[in-house]
Structure 1
């Protein structure tokens, strides 16, 4: 009996040691297989374009393939929820965007980026373009405003859900001047761009990375950029007299980043941070992103977290002031900007 007890105790202690040391030991060999990365939005949108350009360079640094999966829906909540259900082992990444920072404010989920660790915030698409179908009769922001105000709830406007670029810029404009349209929801920029080209909707606010090549090719018409200065020959929206106060919300734009569950082992986080940092420094990737009007950031860890908190503060309180927020940011501990 004593011998059996000693054997049982020895086995139990060995199991405890394995459980204690197994995480770090396994992390040291990471990655031992391919990594899955979930893109929160559909194919052809700004996040999809940014992440598909990013992944190959991170693969080189990791030494493993990154398998990309699009899981759009609910302004990114479907993709984020999927990643949260996977083991926190670094083998399932979230390739996310800005709406998730507002999930709690908009009452969409009981989490935002607080459940994730920011591996890298790659870039911010702070050149946002007002685009219309290419046969539209308007050439400027003011042309469109005049038409909308003379014909309220007649034109069809692209909307991608709460917290997205189209939703937020629409909120900015409506906070300054009457702007009543028919809001048509899509699961991301890609389907909306196809609808614009097909004449099924009239206009939308979209990050330049997703639309600038369509504008250059004449498939879409650019009416203005969310700025007080021109962008690649596109006039600023502030040329419209009623929108001269837009700069109080700027600079603002969608951001693209890579995240893991917060509980992921530190050695795994460190390897991912190093790989995506190196990818963000790649000259070809930077050229791709900057050519699409995107500003490279390449932030990780505490810097990335501070960036998200600042963005969240600016946008959440814009929504609160405009009466769009579902939950008071103050009750969530989100400081005023």
Structure 2
């Protein structure tokens, strides 16, 4: 009898063991599936960006250095990021209109500011409350550039010394084209005024392209723009570059003298120059900023783009993260204190916690 019961129980126990094993296996499988699903979901969320086109807002008008760089770089970035960059010019108020526009958009990485150095001076010039330091994060600082002081080729002004002599002999007689308060020409004017006592009548335009057109049409006598914006005109014989605002000549225009050759006292402000960079809203998620930075870095690293920068007389940088932040901050300190010491701003940079760069 006992043997019969044992024989009857054995199949039942074996069946129970198989059922329990199957349940454990299914439970384990479900847990793994949930884990894999969660992981896949996180990966999908991390790689979802970008799901639509990205708007690239250029703070200056067509034809200037920022516009040239932005439109040359955009298709290269598109290849890396996997979506289109829709480039738009929003000129006005020394770039403040574009800067405010980007700040007002959602901080989702779909609206980027292709900008220059100008927002570094908005607060001290009372142009806008926006600043790179408080409102944006640099995606990449693409390149540094140099300012060139230019006149028409048929101008009686042949050298930088001629310009300074005539300006001092006839204060406020010559017209100097600018891009508004805080633009590159205004900083160059501050240098000249601080060290050489020059006084010009100024007329503002919406960017380097328009001011170059004004010079070409005889509306202004002289201006200062980035070498990149003037290069084509200089090479074609339309403009003469009197000096590059640097302490040495540059490879793209080796025959143009550095301003310190005639006026070494301006060397105290140098090296200084405009820059071109891409910024995102400060609240943009870090992973999106990194994805953008990586894509732009690869695009700028390309041989073709490096050649474009060299041909435009620009200095390759391609920096991001803390290095980019430090670079932008130093540029701000130099420019803000230069304008204050020239009497162009009433409020000291100290009011905005802008430190003075040690000479």
Deviation of 1:327 after TM superposition, in Å, equals 2.7
1:87 — aligned with what?
106
2:315 — aligned with what?
295
1:19 — aligned with what?
none
1:157 — aligned with what?
176
Runs of 5+ unmatched residues, structure 2: 1-40
**Comparing both chains, which one has the higher relative contact order based on Cα–Cα distances under 8 Å and sequence gaps of 6 or more?**
1
CA distance in 2, matches of 1:248, 1:254: 17
Secondary structure of the structure 2 residue equivalent to 1:58:
helix
Deviations 1:6-61 (A, max 9, x none): xxxxxxxxxxxxxxxx9996553000111101000000011111111111111110
In the alignment, structure 1 residue 239 sits paired with structure 2 residue 258? no
Question: Which structure 2 residues correspond to residues 1-337 of structure 1 after superposition, within 5 A?
Answer: 26-113=45-132, 114-125=134-145, 127-231=146-250, 232-240=254-262, 243-337=263-357
Deviation of 1:224 after TM superposition, in Å, equals 1.3
CA distance in 2, matches of 1:25, 1:326: 52
- Contact kept, 8 Å, 1:166 with 1:206, in 2: the verdict is yes
Distance change (3 Å), C-alpha of 1:73 and 1:60: same
CA distance in 2, matches of 1:102, 1:25: 41
Structure number with larger C-alpha Rg: 2
Secondary structure of the structure 1 residue equivalent to 2:196:
coil
Deviation of 1:192 after TM superposition, in Å, equals 0.9
CA RMSD across the alignment: 1.6
- Contact kept, 8 Å, 1:28 with 1:268, in 2: the verdict is no
Secondary structure of the structure 1 residue equivalent to 2:256:
coil
- Contact kept, 8 Å, 2:247 with 2:271, in 1: the verdict is no
- Contact kept, 8 Å, 1:129 with 1:224, in 2: the verdict is yes
Number of corresponding residues = 313
Secondary structure of the structure 2 residue equivalent to 1:260:
strand
CA distance in 2, matches of 1:182, 1:24: 59
Deviations 1:302-332 (A, max 9, x none): 1110111111111111122222224321121
Runs of 5+ unmatched residues, structure 1: 1-21
Comparing 142-151 with 323-332, greater Cα deviation is found at: 323-332
- TM-score, length-scaled by structure 1: 0.89
- Contact kept, 8 Å, 1:39 with 1:47, in 2: the verdict is yes
CA distance in 2, matches of 1:26, 1:186: 44
CA distance in 2, matches of 1:110, 1:129: 29
CA distance in 1, matches of 2:213, 2:125: 28
Secondary structure of the structure 1 residue equivalent to 2:128:
coil
Deviation of 1:230 after TM superposition, in Å, equals 3.1
1:13 — aligned with what?
none
Deviation of 1:141 after TM superposition, in Å, equals 0.2
Deviation of 1:227 after TM superposition, in Å, equals 2.4
Secondary structure of the structure 2 residue equivalent to 1:148:
helix
